[in-house]
C-alpha cells in the first residue's frame, strides 16, 4: 500500500475514523509501505501491513464457501490471470471478448480520469484496478483494490508493480469496506457479485461508500435459461456461486439504493452502470 491510501482508509469497525500509520513502517524508494502497522485512533485496533498488503481481516477472515476457499489457495491465485481470466468472457459469451473489448468498457464507464478514490472491489489479481490506474492518467486520486484472499492480493500487487502502477492493496470484505460514506468516485466489481456471499450486504456497502456523483461499474453473471446452462449453474451453486436471473439482480440493485443507468447483456455476462439513487 501507499501512504496516499491513508487519505481514504477508515477503520472497518468505525467507518468514520481514519486509519493512521504507526511509526517504524518499512517504506520502499517509491513510497510503497511493505511492512508495519496502521491503527484506528478510536477503537485502538491495529492492522498489519504484510508483504505490502494492508490486512484488515487477520486470521478470522476465513472464506465462507467453496468458491471463496479456492481463492485462498496460492496456486489458484498464481494461475488465475495466466489461464482462465483472459479467456473467461469469450468462453462465457460465446463471442470474441478479450481484454481489448472488456477493459475499455470498464474504464469508459467508470471514468477514472475524474480522479478521487477509485476502488476495485473483490479484485482477485487486480485486472480492473490496473486498467483503472492506467486510465486515471495523472488525475489527483488513488486506486485501492480490495479482496478477501491474501494470495490473490499478493499476486495482484506483483502484477501492478511489474507495470509500475501505484495501486494500494487491502484485505477486506466487500460487506465492510474501509472507507467513509460517500468517499468513492468510482467502484468497479468484476465477476465477484456471484461469489461474494452476502450480495445484498455488499451492494448496500457499495451504495454507502459511493459519492453522490460517483459510479458503480459491474461485470456480473446471470442465469442461463437453456437446459445445459441450468445444469452447469446448479452445479456451480453447490460451491457458493450464485447465478440469479437478471430481473432479480436489478431488483437487488434498487433495494440497495442503486439506480441502474445502463446495462448490456452478452449471453450470461452483464455489464451494469449504477449511480446513487435519490
Ligand atoms: C471472480 S473473482 C474476481 C475477478 C476479478 N474482479 C477480475 O475481474 O479478474 C472473485 C474474487 O472475489 C473475492 N471475494 C469473494 N468473496 C469476497 C468478499 N466477501 N469480500 C471481498 N472479496 C471477496 C475472491 O477472493 C476472488 O478473488
Q: Which domains, from first to last, does the chain contain?
A: 57-276 (3.40.50.150)
pLDDT digits (tens, 9 = 90+) for 232-257: 677 666 666 889 999 999 999 999 99
C-alpha cell belonging to residue 100: 481489448
Q: Going by CA atoms, what residue is nearest to atom 13 of ligand 1?
A: 122
What residue has cell string 473489448?
A: 101
Which band of pLDDT confidence, cut at 50, 70 and 90, is reported for residue 274?
very high
Name all residues whose Cβ lies below 6 A of ligand 1: 68, 71, 85, 122-124, 127-128, 147-149, 152, 173-175, 190-192, 195-197
Give the span between the Cα atoms of 116 and 184, in whole angstroms: 7
Q: Going by CA atoms, what residue is nearest to atom 10 of ligand 1?
A: 192
Q: Going by CA atoms, what residue is nearest to atom 9 of ligand 1?
A: 127
User: For residues 180 and 209, is the Cβ–Cβ distance under 8 A?
Assistant: yes
Residue-level length of the chain: 278
What residue has cell string 476495485?
A: 120
pLDDT digits (tens, 9 = 90+) for 96-126: 999 999 999 999 999 999 999 999 999 999 9
For residue 10, what are the β-bridge partners?
Answer: 18
Q: What's the 164 CA to ligand 1 centre distance in angstroms?
A: 23
Q: What's the 23 CA to ligand 1 centre distance in angstroms?
A: 32
Phi, psi of 31 (to 5 degrees): 90, 5
Q: What's the 29 CA to ligand 1 centre distance in angstroms?
A: 30
C-alpha cell belonging to residue 122: 473483490
Q: Going by CA atoms, what residue is nearest to atom 12 of ligand 1?
A: 122
pLDDT digits (tens, 9 = 90+) for 23-68: 999 999 999 999 999 999 999 999 999 999 999 999 877 777 777 7
Q: What is the number of the ligand 1 atom nearest to the C-alpha of 197?
A: 19
Amino acid at each position: 500500500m501507499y501512504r496516499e491510501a491513508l487519505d481514504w482508509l477508515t477503520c472497518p469497525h468505525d467507518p468514520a475514523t481514519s486509519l493512521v500509520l504507526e511509526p517504524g513502517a518499512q517504506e520502499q524508494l517509491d513510497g510503497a509501505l511493505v511492512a508495519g502497522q496502521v491503527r484506528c485512533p478510536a477503537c485502538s485496533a491495529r492492522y498489519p501491513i504484510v508483504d505490502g498488503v494492508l490486512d484488515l481481516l487477520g486470521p478470522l477472515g476465513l472464506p465462507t464457501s467453496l468458491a471463496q476457499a479456492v481463492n485462498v489457495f496460492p496456486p489458484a491465485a498464481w494461475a488465475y490471470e495466466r489461464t482462465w481470466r483472459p479467456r473467461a468472457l469469450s468462453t462465457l459469451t460465446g463471442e470474441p471478448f478479450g481484454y481489448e473489448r472488456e477493459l475499455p468498457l470498464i474504464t469508459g464507464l467508470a471514468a477514472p480520469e475524474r480522479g478521487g478514490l477509485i476502488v476495485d472491489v473483490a479484485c482477485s489479481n487486480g485486472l480492473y484496478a490496473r486498467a483503472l490506474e492506467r486510465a486515471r492518467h495523472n488525475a489527483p486520486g488513488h486506486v485501492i483494490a480490495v479482496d478477501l484472499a491474501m494470495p490473490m492480493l499478493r499476486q495482484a500487487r506483483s502484477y501492478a508493480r511489474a507495470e509500475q502502477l501505484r495501486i494500494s492493496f487491502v484485505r477486506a470484505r466487500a460487506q465492510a469496506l474501509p472507507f467513509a460514506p460517500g468517499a468513492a468516485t468510482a467502484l468497479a466489481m468484476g465477476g465477484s457479485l456471484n461469489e461474494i456471499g452476502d450480495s445484498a450486504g455488499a451492494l448496500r456497502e457499495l451504495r454507502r461508500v459511493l459519492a453522490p456523483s460517483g459510479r458503480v461499474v459491474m461485470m456480473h453473471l446471470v442465469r442461463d435459461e437453456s437446459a445445459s446452462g441450468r445444469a452447469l449453474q446448479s452445479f456451480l451453486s453447490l460451491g457458493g456461486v450464485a447465478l440469479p436471473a437478471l430481473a432479480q439482480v436489478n431488483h437487488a440493485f434498487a433495494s440497495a439504493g442503486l439506480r441502474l443507468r445502463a446495462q448490456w447483456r452478452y449471453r450470461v455476462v452483464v455489464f451494469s452502470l449504477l449511480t446513487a439513487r435519490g
